[in-house]
Amino acid sequence: MKLFGLAESDDEEVLFTPWTIPHILVGAAAKERGIPLLWFELGHFLYEVKDQVENQRQNQLNTLANSIADQAAATVGHLVVKTNTSRYLWTALYVVSWLSAVALGDSIG
């Protein structure tokens, strides 16, 4: 298992990928939007569960270890941002990072 990598493969699990950045930023954006930590944790956890179920159905690669790392990254994003730091800074950064990751497609993640 690698700590960092551009993507997971059949041969090697990766904890943190380029998708880690949008996960950190979504936590920061949630805090900026006033979503309490507990609600955010629950929502993001359900997203990761959906990801695992979907990956098994479609035989895609997103390991449980990566999902746990994504949950941790999102939590860090929520915890490090101060409330009311900016109106839309973290939200805008999240949207840009997510769109960038989606545009790169299967080459990352």
- Whether the pTM exceeds 0.75: the reply is yes
pLDDT in tens, 56-109: 787 677 888 899 999 999 999 999 988 766 688 899 999 999 898 888 876 665
Alpha-carbon span 44 to 32, nearest angstrom: 16
Please, what sign has the CA dihedral across residues 67, 103, 76, 14? positive
69: Cα separation from own chain's centroid:
8
Domain ranges of the chain: 15-107
Average model confidence (pLDDT) for the chain? Answer: 87
pLDDT in tens, 22-47: 999 999 999 999 999 999 999 999 99
Strand partners, 14: 2
